[in-house]
Amino acid sequence: MLSKKFEGVIIESIRGIKERYAIEVSHVGFDQNHIHMLVRFLPKYSGGQVIRLLKSISAKAVFREIPEVKAELWGGEFWTDGYYISTISGKGNKAVIEKYIQNQGREKDIEQLKLFEI
């Protein structure tokens, strides 16, 4: 499971994304070895571009703040190449997705981290 230190570094690394790239990360849920995010972005970006940007920025921050982690990684990469994207249409239910993210990998006494309101 990702440690609180990793979680904090990842959260802090994506806080400035909205201002720099017009990509809004509203919810982040940490699971054992992956994370779930609710992200809103302009159509000038593809989903893959947004994922690559989020992974790149957060990995650089982890390596800068927790340099010893690089020695433990196989191949020296923090994130794998894989990802899953699902979209929410105007008729979709954003609340269902927020609840799904909130419940990922969390014990009952740990509160979901919420970054920004959409």
For the domain bounded by 4-114, which CATH number is listed? Answer: 3.30.70.1290
114 pLDDT exceeds 50? no
CB 99 within 8 A of CB 8: no
pTM for the full model?
0.77
Integer Cα distance of 47 and 102 in angstroms: 21
What percent of the chain lies above the pLDDT cut of 90? Answer: 35
36 pLDDT exceeds 60? yes
Range among 25-39, 54-68, 76-90 rated most confident? 54-68
Q: Which two tokens stand for residue 116?
A: 């920004």
61 pLDDT exceeds 70? yes
The single-letter DSSP state of residue 61 is H
CB 51 within 8 A of CB 85: yes
CB 88 within 8 A of CB 94: yes
Q: Give 72-87 pLDDT, tens digit per residue.
A: 887 778 898 899 888 8
